[in-house]
Amino acid sequence: MPPADATTDKPAVKSGLAAFEEFHALPISEKIALLSRGRELYHCLFAEQFDRPLLDRLGRLCDHLRVLTKTKEGDDFVATVLSHRRAMLYFSQPSTRTFLSFQNACHILGMKTCEIRDPRTSSEMKGESFEDSIRTFASYTDIIIIRHFENNFAEHAARVLHGTPRVVPIVNAGAGTFQHPTQALLDVYTMNRCLEGGIEGTTLMLVGDLKRGRTVRSLALMMRHYRDVRILLVSPPEFRMRPDILDALRAAGVFYEETSDFAGALSEADTVYMTRVQDEHDAAGESRAVNVAGFVLRPEHLRRIKPKAIILHPLPRRGEIDPAVDLDPRAAYWRQERNGLWTRAALIAMIFGAEKALLARIT
Protein backbone atom coordinates (compact mmCIF):
# COMPACT_ATOMS: atom_id res chain seq x y z
CA MET A 1 0.00 0.00 0.00
CA PRO A 2 1.45 3.37 -0.91
CA PRO A 3 1.51 5.92 1.91
CA ALA A 4 -1.32 8.42 2.14
CA ASP A 5 -1.17 11.69 0.25
CA ALA A 6 1.96 13.50 1.39
CA THR A 7 0.75 16.84 0.08
CA THR A 8 -1.22 17.32 3.29
CA ASP A 9 1.93 17.30 5.42
CA LYS A 10 0.05 15.19 7.96
CA PRO A 11 2.07 12.47 9.64
CA ALA A 12 0.06 10.00 7.61
CA VAL A 13 2.53 7.15 7.59
CA LYS A 14 4.78 5.79 10.25
CA SER A 15 8.32 7.03 9.80
CA GLY A 16 11.35 4.82 10.26
CA LEU A 17 13.13 2.28 8.14
CA ALA A 18 10.18 -0.03 7.51
CA ALA A 19 8.11 2.85 6.19
CA PHE A 20 11.00 4.00 4.02
CA GLU A 21 11.56 0.59 2.49
CA GLU A 22 7.90 0.44 1.55
CA PHE A 23 8.17 3.88 0.01
CA HIS A 24 11.50 3.18 -1.71
CA ALA A 25 10.02 0.15 -3.48
CA LEU A 26 7.45 2.31 -5.29
CA PRO A 27 8.05 3.22 -8.94
CA ILE A 28 9.86 6.56 -9.26
CA SER A 29 6.83 8.17 -10.93
CA GLU A 30 4.72 7.41 -7.87
CA LYS A 31 7.41 8.62 -5.50
CA ILE A 32 7.68 11.88 -7.40
CA ALA A 33 3.93 12.40 -7.18
CA LEU A 34 3.92 11.65 -3.45
CA LEU A 35 6.77 14.03 -2.78
CA SER A 36 5.73 16.88 -5.05
CA ARG A 37 3.44 18.69 -2.59
CA GLY A 38 1.35 19.88 -5.51
CA ARG A 39 4.29 21.71 -7.09
CA GLU A 40 6.06 20.66 -10.25
CA LEU A 41 9.42 20.76 -8.54
CA TYR A 42 9.84 20.49 -4.82
CA HIS A 43 12.43 17.92 -3.83
CA CYS A 44 15.06 17.28 -6.48
CA LEU A 45 16.06 13.65 -6.10
CA PHE A 46 15.99 11.89 -9.46
CA ALA A 47 16.81 12.73 -13.08
CA GLU A 48 13.39 11.29 -13.91
CA GLN A 49 11.74 14.36 -12.38
CA PHE A 50 12.80 16.49 -15.32
CA ASP A 51 10.88 16.51 -18.57
CA ARG A 52 11.65 18.55 -21.63
CA PRO A 53 9.51 21.61 -20.78
CA LEU A 54 11.12 21.80 -17.33
CA LEU A 55 14.63 21.43 -18.79
CA ASP A 56 13.91 24.18 -21.30
CA ARG A 57 12.55 26.46 -18.59
CA LEU A 58 15.60 25.87 -16.43
CA GLY A 59 17.85 26.67 -19.38
CA ARG A 60 16.02 29.95 -19.99
CA LEU A 61 16.28 30.91 -16.33
CA CYS A 62 20.02 30.10 -16.35
CA ASP A 63 20.53 32.32 -19.38
CA HIS A 64 18.57 35.08 -17.72
CA LEU A 65 20.51 34.82 -14.45
CA ARG A 66 23.89 34.96 -16.13
CA VAL A 67 22.91 38.15 -17.96
CA LEU A 68 21.18 39.75 -14.94
CA THR A 69 24.16 39.21 -12.65
CA LYS A 70 26.58 40.89 -15.05
CA THR A 71 25.69 44.33 -13.70
CA LYS A 72 25.75 45.50 -10.10
CA GLU A 73 22.10 46.56 -10.30
CA GLY A 74 21.03 43.21 -11.69
CA ASP A 75 23.17 41.24 -9.25
CA ASP A 76 21.84 43.28 -6.31
CA PHE A 77 18.30 42.61 -7.45
CA VAL A 78 18.86 38.84 -7.76
CA ALA A 79 20.24 38.84 -4.23
CA THR A 80 16.92 40.14 -2.88
CA VAL A 81 14.80 37.39 -4.36
CA LEU A 82 15.42 34.71 -1.73
CA SER A 83 17.03 36.77 1.01
CA HIS A 84 14.40 35.42 3.42
CA ARG A 85 15.52 31.80 2.90
CA ARG A 86 18.21 29.68 4.50
CA ALA A 87 19.98 26.66 3.04
CA MET A 88 21.75 23.80 4.71
CA LEU A 89 24.51 22.02 2.85
CA TYR A 90 25.01 18.53 4.25
CA PHE A 91 27.98 17.08 2.40
CA SER A 92 29.34 13.97 4.04
CA GLN A 93 31.36 13.00 0.94
CA PRO A 94 34.24 15.02 -0.52
CA SER A 95 33.19 17.78 -2.89
CA THR A 96 34.72 20.90 -4.35
CA ARG A 97 32.63 22.00 -7.33
CA THR A 98 29.19 20.83 -6.26
CA PHE A 99 29.60 22.26 -2.77
CA LEU A 100 31.02 25.60 -3.92
CA SER A 101 28.58 26.04 -6.76
CA PHE A 102 25.57 25.26 -4.55
CA GLN A 103 26.87 27.55 -1.83
CA ASN A 104 27.54 30.38 -4.26
CA ALA A 105 24.27 29.77 -6.07
CA CYS A 106 22.49 30.30 -2.74
CA HIS A 107 24.50 33.46 -2.14
CA ILE A 108 23.68 34.79 -5.63
CA LEU A 109 20.01 34.49 -4.66
CA GLY A 110 20.64 36.24 -1.35
CA MET A 111 20.21 33.12 0.79
CA LYS A 112 22.13 32.42 3.98
CA THR A 113 23.91 29.09 4.15
CA CYS A 114 25.19 26.75 6.81
CA GLU A 115 26.94 23.46 6.40
CA ILE A 116 27.99 20.12 7.82
CA ARG A 117 30.81 18.60 5.83
CA ASP A 118 32.06 16.16 8.41
CA PRO A 119 29.37 14.17 10.25
CA ARG A 120 31.92 13.55 13.02
CA THR A 121 31.26 17.13 14.10
CA SER A 122 27.47 16.65 14.37
CA SER A 123 25.30 14.92 16.93
CA GLU A 124 25.10 11.88 14.67
CA MET A 125 28.33 10.96 16.46
CA LYS A 126 26.50 11.04 19.79
CA GLY A 127 24.16 8.41 18.43
CA GLU A 128 21.36 10.67 17.24
CA SER A 129 19.02 8.87 14.86
CA PHE A 130 18.87 9.64 11.18
CA GLU A 131 15.34 10.95 11.51
CA ASP A 132 16.13 13.28 14.39
CA SER A 133 19.14 14.67 12.54
CA ILE A 134 17.12 15.40 9.39
CA ARG A 135 14.30 16.99 11.41
CA THR A 136 16.87 19.17 13.15
CA PHE A 137 18.34 20.40 9.86
CA ALA A 138 14.80 21.22 8.71
CA SER A 139 14.11 23.12 11.93
CA TYR A 140 16.73 25.73 11.14
CA THR A 141 16.71 25.95 7.36
CA ASP A 142 14.37 26.09 4.37
CA ILE A 143 16.13 23.66 2.02
CA ILE A 144 18.60 20.83 2.60
CA ILE A 145 21.16 20.04 -0.07
CA ILE A 146 22.66 16.60 0.48
CA ARG A 147 25.65 14.71 -0.83
CA HIS A 148 26.07 11.27 0.63
CA PHE A 149 27.88 7.99 0.04
CA GLU A 150 24.62 6.05 0.34
CA ASN A 151 22.39 5.81 -2.72
CA ASN A 152 19.13 6.52 -0.89
CA PHE A 153 20.11 8.96 1.84
CA ALA A 154 18.52 12.06 0.23
CA GLU A 155 15.39 10.18 -0.77
CA HIS A 156 15.11 8.82 2.75
CA ALA A 157 15.51 12.31 4.18
CA ALA A 158 12.65 13.57 2.00
CA ARG A 159 10.49 10.67 3.12
CA VAL A 160 11.25 11.27 6.78
CA LEU A 161 10.25 14.92 6.55
CA HIS A 162 6.93 14.01 4.98
CA GLY A 163 6.02 12.33 8.24
CA THR A 164 6.61 15.55 10.20
CA PRO A 165 4.89 18.94 10.43
CA ARG A 166 7.86 20.77 8.91
CA VAL A 167 8.73 19.70 5.38
CA VAL A 168 11.48 21.45 3.42
CA PRO A 169 12.80 20.59 -0.03
CA ILE A 170 15.68 18.12 -0.28
CA VAL A 171 18.14 18.36 -3.15
CA ASN A 172 20.28 15.40 -4.14
CA ALA A 173 23.80 16.75 -4.74
CA GLY A 174 25.27 13.32 -5.47
CA ALA A 175 23.93 10.01 -4.17
CA GLY A 176 26.40 7.13 -3.92
CA THR A 177 26.63 5.28 -7.22
CA PHE A 178 23.00 6.04 -8.00
CA GLN A 179 22.40 9.51 -9.41
CA HIS A 180 23.63 13.10 -9.57
CA PRO A 181 20.69 14.91 -11.14
CA THR A 182 21.95 18.48 -10.72
CA GLN A 183 25.21 17.58 -12.47
CA ALA A 184 23.12 16.24 -15.34
CA LEU A 185 21.20 19.54 -15.41
CA LEU A 186 24.37 21.54 -15.84
CA ASP A 187 25.67 19.05 -18.41
CA VAL A 188 22.47 19.39 -20.44
CA TYR A 189 22.67 23.17 -20.19
CA THR A 190 26.31 23.15 -21.32
CA MET A 191 25.60 20.83 -24.24
CA ASN A 192 22.69 22.98 -25.36
CA ARG A 193 24.81 26.12 -25.19
CA CYS A 194 27.96 24.75 -26.77
CA LEU A 195 26.66 22.40 -29.47
CA GLU A 196 25.58 24.24 -32.59
CA GLY A 197 21.86 23.53 -32.86
CA GLY A 198 21.65 22.02 -29.37
CA ILE A 199 21.50 18.41 -28.22
CA GLU A 200 18.98 16.97 -30.68
CA GLY A 201 20.41 14.79 -33.41
CA THR A 202 23.82 14.55 -31.76
CA THR A 203 25.97 11.68 -30.51
CA LEU A 204 27.00 11.62 -26.87
CA MET A 205 30.00 9.51 -25.95
CA LEU A 206 30.16 8.59 -22.26
CA VAL A 207 33.57 7.30 -21.26
CA GLY A 208 35.03 5.65 -18.16
CA ASP A 209 33.51 4.05 -15.08
CA LEU A 210 29.93 3.94 -16.32
CA LYS A 211 29.05 1.31 -13.76
CA ARG A 212 29.48 3.50 -10.71
CA GLY A 213 29.60 7.00 -12.18
CA ARG A 214 26.44 8.72 -10.97
CA THR A 215 26.85 11.66 -13.36
CA VAL A 216 26.72 9.53 -16.50
CA ARG A 217 23.74 7.58 -15.18
CA SER A 218 21.68 10.75 -14.64
CA LEU A 219 22.85 12.32 -17.90
CA ALA A 220 21.92 9.23 -19.93
CA LEU A 221 18.40 9.41 -18.49
CA MET A 222 18.05 13.08 -19.45
CA MET A 223 18.92 12.26 -23.07
CA ARG A 224 15.51 10.59 -23.41
CA HIS A 225 14.01 14.06 -23.79
CA TYR A 226 15.98 14.96 -26.92
CA ARG A 227 15.15 13.61 -30.34
CA ASP A 228 17.59 11.45 -32.30
CA VAL A 229 20.33 11.33 -29.70
CA ARG A 230 22.78 8.42 -29.96
CA ILE A 231 24.77 7.34 -26.94
CA LEU A 232 28.10 5.57 -27.21
CA LEU A 233 28.92 3.86 -23.93
CA VAL A 234 32.68 3.47 -23.90
CA SER A 235 34.24 1.59 -21.00
CA PRO A 236 36.36 -1.37 -20.04
CA PRO A 237 34.14 -4.47 -19.71
CA GLU A 238 34.34 -4.26 -15.89
CA PHE A 239 32.83 -0.76 -15.88
CA ARG A 240 29.85 -1.22 -18.19
CA MET A 241 26.67 0.79 -17.63
CA ARG A 242 24.25 -1.10 -15.38
CA PRO A 243 21.11 -2.67 -16.85
CA ASP A 244 18.62 -0.29 -15.16
CA ILE A 245 19.83 2.62 -17.28
CA LEU A 246 20.10 0.51 -20.43
CA ASP A 247 16.52 -0.66 -19.90
CA ALA A 248 15.32 2.93 -19.49
CA LEU A 249 17.09 3.98 -22.70
CA ARG A 250 15.66 1.05 -24.63
CA ALA A 251 12.16 1.74 -23.32
CA ALA A 252 12.45 5.35 -24.47
CA GLY A 253 13.77 4.33 -27.89
CA VAL A 254 17.19 5.93 -27.39
CA PHE A 255 19.82 4.27 -29.54
CA TYR A 256 22.90 3.22 -27.61
CA GLU A 257 25.94 1.14 -28.33
CA GLU A 258 28.46 -0.34 -25.92
CA THR A 259 32.11 -0.55 -26.88
CA SER A 260 35.62 -0.63 -25.46
CA ASP A 261 37.10 1.01 -28.55
CA PHE A 262 37.77 4.52 -27.24
CA ALA A 263 39.86 5.79 -30.14
CA GLY A 264 37.44 4.32 -32.69
CA ALA A 265 34.37 5.96 -31.14
CA LEU A 266 35.94 9.43 -30.88
CA SER A 267 35.35 10.39 -34.51
CA GLU A 268 31.59 9.77 -34.17
CA ALA A 269 30.97 11.90 -31.09
CA ASP A 270 29.59 15.43 -30.86
CA THR A 271 30.06 15.39 -27.09
CA VAL A 272 32.97 13.47 -25.56
CA TYR A 273 32.12 13.09 -21.86
CA MET A 274 35.08 11.76 -19.87
CA THR A 275 34.87 10.45 -16.29
CA ARG A 276 37.24 9.06 -13.67
CA VAL A 277 37.32 5.66 -12.00
CA GLN A 278 35.02 5.79 -8.95
CA ASP A 279 37.36 3.74 -6.78
CA GLU A 280 35.96 5.12 -3.52
CA HIS A 281 33.24 2.51 -4.09
CA ASP A 282 35.68 -0.40 -4.33
CA ALA A 283 35.12 -3.14 -1.79
CA ALA A 284 38.78 -4.21 -1.81
CA GLY A 285 40.75 -2.16 -4.35
CA GLU A 286 39.36 -4.12 -7.32
CA SER A 287 39.61 -1.08 -9.64
CA ARG A 288 43.37 -1.47 -9.64
CA ALA A 289 42.99 -4.61 -11.70
CA VAL A 290 41.05 -2.80 -14.45
CA ASN A 291 43.06 -1.53 -17.38
CA VAL A 292 41.91 2.03 -18.06
CA ALA A 293 45.03 3.14 -19.94
CA GLY A 294 43.10 3.05 -23.22
CA PHE A 295 40.45 5.49 -21.96
CA VAL A 296 42.57 8.62 -21.68
CA LEU A 297 42.10 11.64 -23.94
CA ARG A 298 45.49 12.86 -25.19
CA PRO A 299 46.48 15.61 -27.64
CA GLU A 300 47.11 13.01 -30.37
CA HIS A 301 43.40 12.09 -30.25
CA LEU A 302 42.24 15.62 -31.02
CA ARG A 303 42.58 15.26 -34.78
CA ARG A 304 40.08 12.39 -34.65
CA ILE A 305 37.38 14.49 -32.95
CA LYS A 306 34.87 16.46 -35.03
CA PRO A 307 35.81 20.14 -35.43
CA LYS A 308 32.64 21.32 -33.66
CA ALA A 309 32.50 18.63 -30.99
CA ILE A 310 32.82 19.48 -27.30
CA ILE A 311 34.78 17.74 -24.58
CA LEU A 312 33.19 17.57 -21.12
CA HIS A 313 34.17 16.11 -17.74
CA PRO A 314 32.25 16.52 -14.46
CA LEU A 315 35.64 16.87 -12.75
CA PRO A 316 37.72 16.19 -10.74
CA ARG A 317 39.93 14.57 -13.36
CA ARG A 318 42.61 12.13 -12.43
CA GLY A 319 44.47 11.69 -15.66
CA GLU A 320 41.54 10.90 -18.01
CA ILE A 321 42.21 14.12 -19.91
CA ASP A 322 45.77 15.21 -20.51
CA PRO A 323 46.00 18.87 -19.36
CA ALA A 324 47.48 19.70 -22.79
CA VAL A 325 43.94 19.14 -24.15
CA ASP A 326 42.76 22.17 -22.14
CA LEU A 327 44.20 24.44 -24.83
CA ASP A 328 41.93 23.02 -27.51
CA PRO A 329 38.85 25.22 -28.13
CA ARG A 330 36.64 22.11 -27.94
CA ALA A 331 37.60 21.57 -24.29
CA ALA A 332 34.48 22.86 -22.54
CA TYR A 333 34.88 21.42 -19.04
CA TRP A 334 35.83 24.71 -17.38
CA ARG A 335 32.77 26.37 -18.91
CA GLN A 336 30.75 23.33 -17.81
CA GLU A 337 32.04 23.78 -14.26
CA ARG A 338 31.00 27.44 -14.21
CA ASN A 339 27.60 26.57 -15.60
CA GLY A 340 27.01 24.66 -12.37
CA LEU A 341 26.62 28.00 -10.66
CA TRP A 342 23.81 29.25 -12.90
CA THR A 343 22.09 25.91 -13.13
CA ARG A 344 21.98 25.43 -9.38
CA ALA A 345 20.83 29.01 -8.82
CA ALA A 346 18.07 28.51 -11.40
CA LEU A 347 17.03 25.23 -9.80
CA ILE A 348 16.80 26.68 -6.30
CA ALA A 349 14.94 29.74 -7.59
CA MET A 350 12.46 27.44 -9.28
CA ILE A 351 11.99 25.28 -6.18
CA PHE A 352 11.09 28.40 -4.20
CA GLY A 353 8.79 29.74 -6.91
CA ALA A 354 11.03 32.72 -7.74
CA GLU A 355 11.23 32.06 -11.47
CA LYS A 356 8.56 34.62 -12.44
CA ALA A 357 10.05 37.41 -10.34
CA LEU A 358 13.46 36.85 -11.89
CA LEU A 359 12.21 36.66 -15.47
CA ALA A 360 10.12 39.81 -14.96
CA ARG A 361 13.26 41.80 -14.27
CA ILE A 362 14.53 43.14 -17.57
CA THR A 363 18.29 43.63 -17.78
- Select from 12-20, 24-32, 312-320, 327-335 the region that touches ligand NCD (CB under 6 A): 312-320
- Residue closest to 205 by CA, chosen among 313, 328, 331: 313
Give the active site residue among 69, 85, 98, 225.
98
268 by Cβ neighbours in 10 Å (0-12 / 13-18 / 19+) ranks as middle
Cα distance between residue 16 and residue 4, in whole Å: 15
Give, as ranges, the residues between 76 and 105 that touch ligand NCD (CB under 6 A). 97-98
Does position 174 interact with ligand NCD (CB under 6 A)? The reply is: yes
DSSP string, 211-256: TT-HHHHHHHHHGGGSTT-EEEEE--GGGPPPHHHHHHHHHTT-EE
Does position 314 interact with ligand NCD (CB under 6 A)? The reply is: yes
- Asked if 93 contacts 174 with a C-beta cutoff of 8 angstroms, the reply is yes
Q: Is 227 part of the annotated catalytic residue set?
A: no
Position among 65, 105, 315, 351 found at the interface with ligand NCD (CB under 6 A): 315
Interaction pattern, residues 247-286, with ligand NCD; x per rule: CB under 6 A: ----------------------------xx----------
Q: Is 259 part of the annotated catalytic residue set?
A: no
Q: Is 70 part of the annotated catalytic residue set?
A: no
Strand order through the sheet with 271-274: 255-259, 230-234, 203-207, 271-274, 310-312
Give the active site residue among 43, 64, 135, 147.
147
Give, as ranges, the residues between 42 and 81 that touch ligand NCD (CB under 6 A). none
Cα distance between residue 216 and residue 227, in whole Å: 18
Q: Is 180 part of the annotated catalytic residue set?
A: yes
* Shortest Cβ 318–ligand NCD spacing (Å): 8
Q: Is 318 part of the annotated catalytic residue set?
A: no
DSSP state at residue 310: E
Give the active site residue among 64, 148, 180, 211.
180
Give the active site residue among 97, 107, 230, 330.
97
Interaction pattern, residues 197-236, with ligand NCD; x per rule: CB under 6 A: -----------------xx---------------------
Cα distance between residue 348 and residue 83, in whole Å: 12
Does position 148 interact with ligand NCD (CB under 6 A)? The reply is: no
Residues of this chain that bind ligand NCD (CB under 6 A): 97-98, 174, 180, 183, 214-215, 275-276, 314-316
